[in-house]
Amino acid sequence: MTDLMGMFGTLAVNAAALIGLMVAVSPIVRRLAIKPDRHDRILLGIGFGLAGIVVMLVSVEVADGILIDGRNVAVAIASLFGGLWTGALAAVCIGGTRLLLGGDGAAFGALSTLLAWLACMAHLRFLPIDRINPANARLLLLGLLLTVATAACAFLAGLIGSWPWAVAVDVGFVYLGAGACFYTVCLIAIAKLLAREHAQVATEKSLHERDERLRALVEISYDWFWETDAEDHLSYLSARVEDVLGVHRTEFVGRSRDHLLVDTIDGDFAKSRQAVEERKPFRNLIWAVRLPAGEVRWLRCSGVPLTDAAGHFTGYLGVTTDVTEHRHAQKTIQWQASHDPLTDLPNRALFHSRLQRMLTHADSAGRRIALLFIDLDQFKRINDSFGHTVGDQLISAAAERIVGCTSPADVVARLGGDEFTVITDDLDDPIDVERIARRIISAFEAPFLLERREVYVSASVGIAIFPDNARSADALMREADAALYRAKDSGRNDFRFFTPELNEQSRERTMMESQLRRALEREELYLCYQPQIRISDSEIVGVEALLRWENEVLGLVPTPQFIALAEDSGLIVPIGAWVLETACRQIAELTKGHPPLNLAVNVSSRQFTTPGLLEAVQHALSVSGLPESALELEITESVLMADLRQTYETLEALSALGIQLSLDDFGTGYSSLSYLRRFPVNVLKIDRAFVNDVTKDAGAAAVVESIIAMAHGLKLTVVSEGVETPEQHAFMVRHGVDRGQGYLYGKPMLLKDFAEIYCAREVA
């Protein structure tokens, strides 16, 4: 009985020792549960081995050499929580020590340890166990297995040893009863201990896994992450910073965030500093840094303040992105939205906002601002003549010249087409702006070299001054525009200051355009006819149709004035078609039953660059019934100068129809006879200006003589315009000019008047 008590006491001490040991090693067990590690397993195996040795040594002997102790529990726990090899290590330590100690039962002691390990192995193999949260039923089963193994061992030892049967059975049963309780209680207690820690282990495990995932994210992220301490010193920077800034992150850790700014150039850094001082989060603040190599990078930064459990500020956690490329792209887009791609000058939108800003500034500073509107003279002619590529080259070269005439503080913008503007606030006296205007005009004196051709273009300038002429941007622009028109009207290649009367003129121009738009439908347009005579016998052989416009408000508008307006606005296309059809119809009717009369109709270059001219001519001929050979289209040199395939094809097609092509106002433009060879032109009209001078100026007479000779050489019919005097007529007779037109033979007249002369002549 005493032995029995002693034995239970021993078991209780062993149990306490083992549970204590379990408590001591539970951090290792926990670590193993999270992340199995060989080093920890070895430690655990040796630890439980030593524990088994200690409990073996302190245990009491129940019989000779027979100990009831917890060494097997040590092996079981080591196997259970560290794996079979950990258990094996513990078993080797304990069994080996038992063998070394020697004495009766040494072999059985060692054997019992081995059996315990084998029982664990069987158990673990066939009933795998959750090491973190083992089920009680399984632990009970393991306890039972150990008990049976140890009891069988003790029984065997009793039998083989010198014990009488009864003692051996006794000891066996004691083992069975006590062991069952002991092992099972020990195991369950330990399992409970672990189960309590299970929640914590699981949390730590998931935290650990989340940390791992975050680290992976940080590593692949394009951004970099940082942390500061309470003193705003960087305590962490992720590796990406090194790729972007090209500096080693250790250089920054421990330093203030400012250190990262080699040189703050621009942006929101001050805002971020203020947020940090106020312990507030900041988001998407952007600033630039200059790297040691001089390169500028733009960074976008967000940060949140961190606090500890007690609510004390511990620093900031943040993320930074390199937005340099994005910023550059944004700048490019902004640039494109506000600049003219051809000249790189500010466009209309930017010009407007700059003008507004400068006006506000000038208003408060009591300064003056001059607004110059610049327009290239007859740019449309260049564009139509040489094509858009050359036109574009001219615009950019012109922009350069204009910029060259201004100071860096002035704003030069392109408003569109061939319109430029300059805003200058650097003037104390209107004479200053006059100087700029003169400089701009003379900058256009030299020719432009475009595709190996020398092209001359002049510029006209209109000027309005704030606050003298107007106070608002819109009014100032309107007035500069009116002044520009004034400069154009008075001969171009000049500048004009705005005067109140100009306002009136520009209003008139706008009004005239709106009236002209409705002129066709209101039937305000009509044709006059001017006879052309054969010089040799003064017979009327032809007639030129000349357009007239009589408006109820404006009265009879001078033809060159509204033709220019119609060309500018594109209205010339429908008007020109109407002229063609009306002239063909009227002259076809007039000449019905008479020999055909040559009908000359003016066609503007704008009609050549707009599709549909050929169709309009065909339509006019077919509805009127006028023979093709009776129609003569008067074109100007600019049409031929265009030298465009499309123009050439139209001329060829017109010529193929059988109509005549006449070159009007010869001598005023480029006067190049080489065009005449290349194009299917039949008639050449010498400009009125030359004819006017032939009897007064020997030089003019010589020029006209040579034009006539060359034209005849090219088999062209020569028509002289503007013959006003018998002397001029005599000159034409002398030089064999074919036809004449001018006030001497007849002014442009209404159809009925022309019909009268025509029919009278027939009668005569």
User: With contact defined as beta carbons under 8 Å apart, do 477 and 371 qualify?
Assistant: yes
In the region spanning residues 511 to 550, those forming contacts with ligand C2E, defined by CB under 6 A, are 530, 546-547
By CB under 6 A, residue 559 contacts ligand C2E? yes
By CB under 6 A, residue 563 contacts ligand C2E? yes
Q: Sign of dihedral through CA atoms 57, 58, 59, 61? A: positive
Taking contact as CB under 6 A, which single stretch among the options 97-105, 415-423, 588-596, 740-748 is the one that binds ligand C2E? 740-748
List of residues 6+ apart from 435 with CB closer than 8 A: none
Judged by beta carbon, residue 560 or residue 595, the one nearer ligand C2E is: 560
By CB under 6 A, residue 586 contacts ligand C2E? no
By CB under 5 A, residue 664 contacts Mg ion? yes
Residue with tokens 């009680």: 136
Q: How far is the CB of 721 from Mg ion (least distance, A)?
A: 5
- Output the six-digit token pair for 627: 């023979």
Residue 724 binds which entry of Mg ion, ligand C2E, none, CB below 5-8 Å type-dependent: ligand C2E
Please report which residue ranges of 405-534 form alpha helices under DSSP H.
Answer: 430-443, 473-489, 500-517
Whole-number Å distance between alpha carbons of 222 and 321: 7
Judged by beta carbon, residue 481 or residue 664, the one nearer Mg ion is: 664
Judged by beta carbon, residue 318 or residue 748, the one nearer ligand C2E is: 748
Whole-Å CA distances, 631 to 43, 106, 529, 588? 116, 139, 14, 10
By CB under 5 A, residue 665 contacts Mg ion? yes
| 3-state percent helix, strand, coil for the chain, nearest multiple of 5 | 55, 20, 25
User: With contact defined as beta carbons under 8 Å apart, do 316 and 256 qualify?
Assistant: no
Judged by beta carbon, residue 544 or residue 581, the one nearer Mg ion is: 544
Judged by beta carbon, residue 11 or residue 557, the one nearer ligand C2E is: 557
Bridge partners for 634 per DSSP: 602, 662
By CB under 6 A, residue 740 contacts ligand C2E? no
User: With contact defined as beta carbons under 8 Å apart, do 533 and 743 qualify?
Assistant: no
Judged by beta carbon, residue 573 or residue 579, the one nearer Mg ion is: 579
Q: How many CB atoms lie within 10 A of CB 208?
A: 12
Whole-number Å distance between alpha carbons of 62 and 499: 131
Burial 64-87 (b: 16+ CB within 10 A, else e): ebbbbbbbbbbbbbbbbbbbbebb
Per-residue x/- mask for ligand C2E, residues 683 to 722, rule CB under 6 A? -----x--------------------------------xx
Per-residue x/- mask for ligand C2E, residues 85 to 114, rule CB under 6 A? ------------------------------
For 312-358, list the strands marked E by DSSP: 313-322
Q: How far is the CB of 374 from ligand C2E (least distance, A)?
A: 27
Size, binding site for ligand C2E by CB under 6 A: 22
By CB under 5 A, residue 634 contacts Mg ion? yes
By CB under 6 A, residue 664 contacts ligand C2E? yes
In the region spanning residues 363 to 402, those forming contacts with ligand C2E, defined by CB under 6 A, are none
Residue 313 binds which entry of ligand C2E, Mg ion, none, CB below 5-8 Å type-dependent: none
Judged by beta carbon, residue 581 or residue 721, the one nearer Mg ion is: 721
By CB under 5 A, residue 79 contacts Mg ion? no
> Three-class SS of residue 681?
coil
Judged by beta carbon, residue 69 or residue 632, the one nearer Mg ion is: 632
Residue 242 binds which entry of ligand C2E, Mg ion, none, CB below 5-8 Å type-dependent: none
User: With contact defined as beta carbons under 8 Å apart, do 90 and 78 qualify?
Assistant: yes
By CB under 5 A, residue 479 contacts Mg ion? no
Q: How far is the CB of 634 from Mg ion (least distance, A)?
A: 4
DSSP string, 127-188: S---SSS--HHHHHHHHHHHHHHHHHHHHHHHHHTT--HHHHHHHHHHIIIIIHHHHHHHHH
Q: How far is the CB of 664 from ligand C2E (least distance, A)?
A: 5
Size, binding site for Mg ion by CB under 5 A: 5
The DSSP 8-state label assigned to residue 341 in this structure reads T
DSSP string, 208-252: HHHHHHHHHHHHH-SSEEEEE-TTSBEEEE-THHHHHH-S-GGGT
In the region spanning residues 49 to 88, those forming contacts with ligand C2E, defined by CB under 6 A, are none
By CB under 5 A, residue 637 contacts Mg ion? no
Residue 579 binds which entry of Mg ion, ligand C2E, none, CB below 5-8 Å type-dependent: ligand C2E
- Output the six-digit token pair for 19: 């549970």
- Residue 40, phi then psi, degrees to nearest 5: -65, -35
Residue 547 binds which entry of ligand C2E, Mg ion, none, CB below 5-8 Å type-dependent: ligand C2E
Among 383, 586, 602, 638, binds ligand C2E (CB under 6 A): 602
Q: How far is the CB of 705 from ligand C2E (least distance, A)?
A: 20
Bridge partners for 321 per DSSP: 300
By CB under 5 A, residue 223 contacts Mg ion? no
356's enclosing H/E stretch is helix 348-365
In the region spanning residues 426 to 485, those forming contacts with ligand C2E, defined by CB under 6 A, are none
Binding residues (CB under 5 A) for Mg ion: these are 602, 634, 664-665, 721
Interface residue list for ligand C2E (CB under 6 A): 530, 546-547, 559-560, 563, 576, 579, 602-604, 634, 664-665, 688, 721-722, 724, 741-743, 748
